[in-house]
Homo-oligomer: A and B are copies of this chain.
Amino acid sequence: MTTARRPGRRPGNPGTRAAVLSAARAAFAERGFDGATIRAIATAAGVDPALVHHYFGSKDKLFLAAVEAPVDPEQLLPQVLAAGPDRLGESVVGMLLRVWDGPARPAGLALVRSAVGNEWTARLLREFLVSQVLRRVVGTLDLPPAEAEARGALVASQLIGVVMTRYVLEVEPLASAPAEELVAALAPTVQRYLTGEVALPGRRA
């Protein structure tokens, strides 16, 4: 049944859809999530911007389709934020492990493998992390932009490291430990990066 065409939001010529996604990947990799526009992507694909909106709904959704994201972080956000800012570290690590311990893992691994081997895909994964995950989570803390960026990047450094050690390199005991034990060990780190005392690093030209 998985091969059946889905009704509703995804009609239209499959060739057009593929052209839009291909143009979107190029635009997001070249200009980043913020720099890319639906108008420019539509032009590159030779279609009307209204058709892109019709197919994909929003720039966020177009981006998720372009990178074949196994989950939509926006849908997981309410659950992550429910416990409040003082337990954000715990809920972020918990959500990461629930997603990766679940059916999304193969797609997640494919994305990481592709990102590490290919500079373009690396940029797409970075844009996914920054625009779809970190900005949403850190955005709830009401911080100055440079501080939000730095805290988000530090969070990313620990989360990507967990993915690499647990799922890619399978370093024990992280590879086989129950998720709740990893949450207990890692949450204080992520919480410190989000809301604690940190000597924040800054960009250099």
Contacts and interface: CB of A to CB of B under 8 A. Distances in A.
B154 A174 contact: yes
A67 to B, nearest CB: 13
Contacts of A188: 192
B157 A164 contact: yes
A9 interface: no
A165 interface: yes
A200 interface: yes
A172 B185 contact: no
Interface residues of A, number: 51
Contact of A170 (B126, B146, B169, B185): B126
Interface string A152-187: 011011111110111011111110111001101110
Interface string A179-205: 001101110110010000011111111
A26 interface: no
A98 to B, nearest CB: 16
Interface stretch (A37-45, A50-58, A100-108, A115-123): A115-123
A91 to B, nearest CB: 16
A56 B200 CA distance: 44
A150 interface: yes
B158 A160 contact: no
